[in-house]
Every structure is written in C-alpha cells, then in structure tokens.
Structure 1
Amino acid sequence: MTDNERSITLTPSWKAFFWSYVFGVVLIPALIGIILLWRTSKKHRAKSYKITDRKITVVDGNYSQNIDLADIRQAVAGELRFGVGNVTIKTQGREIELIGIENPEMIATSIEKAVEAELRRLQAQEQTKPRETKYDPGSMDRLDYLTGLWQQGLVSDEDFEKERKKFED
C-alpha cells in the first residue's frame, strides 16, 4: 500500500448475529448453547472488510478475495435489521455481500463514489501514457550505422536500400 492510499477496515456488527447469540444463551442448559455461542463468535470474528482507494478485500476466516474498484458495477444497501444491514457489491461476474454493516446506505454510497474516483484516475492515467514510437528501440541507431557504412562506400546502393526497407516495415 502506498503512503497516500487511504483505507478503512469494517467488521460485522454483533447485531447481525443477534439471533444466534440469543439461541446460544437460551440453549446453554442443554450444552448445545455453548457450542452455538462458540461457533457464532468464531464466525463473527473471522469476517472483515478492508476498503482502500483501489480495491476491497473481503476476509472470511482463511479465505480472502480482492475486488478492484474499477470492476464494481453497483453497490446496493440491503434492508436494516437492528440498525445493521448488508451491502451487496456487484461486479461483471459475481456478487459479494458485506454482512452486518452499520449504516449500509452510507457505505454503499461511499463505495460508489470511490468507484467513480478510481475510474477517473484510470482514465487520466490512460491519457498520460507516452505515445508509442514508430521504430523499435535501437533501430534508429542501427539505421544510422547502416547509413554511415553506405556513405563510406562499404555497402552497395542496392544492399543499403534493401536493408533500409526492413527498418521502415
């Protein structure tokens, strides 16, 4: 990550796992609740989302995937439950859901703005690329060398013209 690249790391709110926690507490006398609480807590801590100026990284346990902002077509906020909701990110070939995000409308809007900024940056970068040269690197030096040989009389006129045409094609 470069020095001027900004990032934010989001984690799901505990409210997104509310019912799993409630059932775990209720089922503690049956010992199933302890297992349910442990699994829910593990699932909750394993998820994180890192949003930078260039990409979004979704970490789910040992599984991680990157989404370039330029590939995102749409970011949609889902319905709110307990003050949290999901943000669905749609790309050309897949959909990724960021679950348990507080204020998902603001996050979806921020992602859309970041996508627009990244597309503008890529377009500006494309416009500032150096123009391509007509000749291969070093070919002009070889042509100068060939011309010098021709001027000194070391290469015949027909050989010079034949070799010079190779540089023009």
Structure 2
Amino acid sequence: MPEHNKSITLTPSWKAFFWSYFFGILLLPLLIGFIILWKTRQKHKGIYYEIKDRLITVVESKYSQNIDLKDIRKAEPGEIRFGVGSVTLKTQAREIELIGLENPEGIAKSIEKAVEAELKRLESKRLAKPRESEYDPGSMDRLDYLTGLWQQGLVSEEDFEIERKKFEGS
C-alpha cells in the first residue's frame, strides 16, 4: 500500500505578536523600536507547524519537536484575542502550544478527528495480523501430494493411513 505524505503547514498570524509590533513601532523614534521589530519579526518567521498524516512537527526558531498523533490525548483551543488563538496539544508526558492560529476551535477539532482516525488505523492493523498456521509450513502440501498418490493407486490404503496419522499427530 503506498504511503501518502500529505502535509499542511500552519504559521502564526501577525496578530499573535500584536503588542510586540505595536511597541516596536511606538518606540521607533528612540531607535530601540528597530531592535524590537527585528526580534519580533525573527521570532514570527521562525515559528511554523507542519501537520502530516501521522505526526505534527512544531518548529520554533532553532528547535523542533515531533508529536505522533497516536500520543495526543487532547487538543484544546485557547482564548481568542484579535481574532487568533492557540491550540494546546496534551500528551501523556507534555503539553505543546500552537500559538497565533486563526480558527483554533476548528483546528483543534480537526486534530482530534485525525487522532481518532490514526488510532482506528493502528487498531485495525493490529487486528489484521495473519493467524498462525495449525500445520508446519509445507505440511499441507505434503499431505495433498500423499492424497494424490493414494487416489492414483500408487500408495496402498494401509500406507496412506499410516502417513496421514503422522500429519494429524504433528
């Protein structure tokens, strides 16, 4: 079965950094505003979230984290300000916050659905394991071959029964 590597990349809205941009512009005459704007822009550009079929990658500047969908216990939307909000992904070991997303409720619901689908896929894969054979590999072929010899009259009835009982015992 071919693997489909679908992915969606989300970036935070500039509205998530509103106050940093606001104070940077406000302090431009003092020249410190340039530094604030530059640092805010670097931080803004350095954050993105890549959602794939089976994992979410969170990249923040120099650091990145991978979260398997199967490990996510809950995706909660946060408070909305300036039309953007955050989504908190909770796993057993940690919490990751995806900041500055428009429509955080919809994104949280989509992630929850993706987690459900991944868990169902893993469960069906677990249940679809091949069953163990009752016979040794190749023993059924040998029994079929013996039956063919008996039907053709090349093996006597007594010899056939003796050999067949060997297969039932193993």
TM-score band, normalised by shorter chain: 0.7 to 0.9
CA distance in 1, matches of 2:132, 2:83: 54
Equivalent positions of 1:79-90 (< 5 A) are 79-90=79-90
Q: Return closer, same or farther for 1:136/1:94 CA change in 2, 3 Å cut-off.
A: farther
Aligned identity (percent) is 66
Equivalent positions of 1:88-99 (< 5 A) are 88-99=88-99
SS at match of 2:99: strand
CA distance in 2, matches of 1:136, 1:82: 68
Shift in Å at residue 130 of structure 1? 2.4
Q: Return closer, same or farther for 1:61/1:123 CA change in 2, 3 Å cut-off.
A: same
Given residue 21 of structure 1, which amino acid in structure 2 is its aligned partner?
Y
CA distance in 1, matches of 2:45, 2:135: 57
Larger radius of gyration: 2
CA distance in 2, matches of 1:14, 1:136: 65
| Matched residue count | 139
Which residue does 1:53 correspond to in 2? 53
Q: TM-score, normalised by structure 1?
A: 0.76
Given residue 22 of structure 2, which amino acid in structure 1 is its aligned partner?
V
Q: What CA deviation, in whole Å up to 9, does each residue of 1:133-167 have, x standing for no partner? A: 68999xx9xxxxxxxxxxxxxxxxxxxxxxxxxxx
Equivalent positions of 1:5-154 (< 5 A) are 5-132=5-132
Structure 2 gaps of 5+ residues are 140-169
Which residue does 1:146 correspond to in 2? none
Q: Return closer, same or farther for 1:135/1:59 CA change in 2, 3 Å cut-off.
A: farther
CA distance in 1, matches of 2:76, 2:93: 16
Q: TM-score, normalised by structure 2?
A: 0.76
Given residue 110 of structure 1, which amino acid in structure 2 is its aligned partner?
S
Structure 1 gaps of 5+ residues are 141-167
Given residue 123 of structure 2, which amino acid in structure 1 is its aligned partner?
Q
CA distance in 2, matches of 1:4, 1:62: 28
Shift in Å at residue 52 of structure 1? 1.1
Given residue 85 of structure 2, which amino acid in structure 1 is its aligned partner?
G
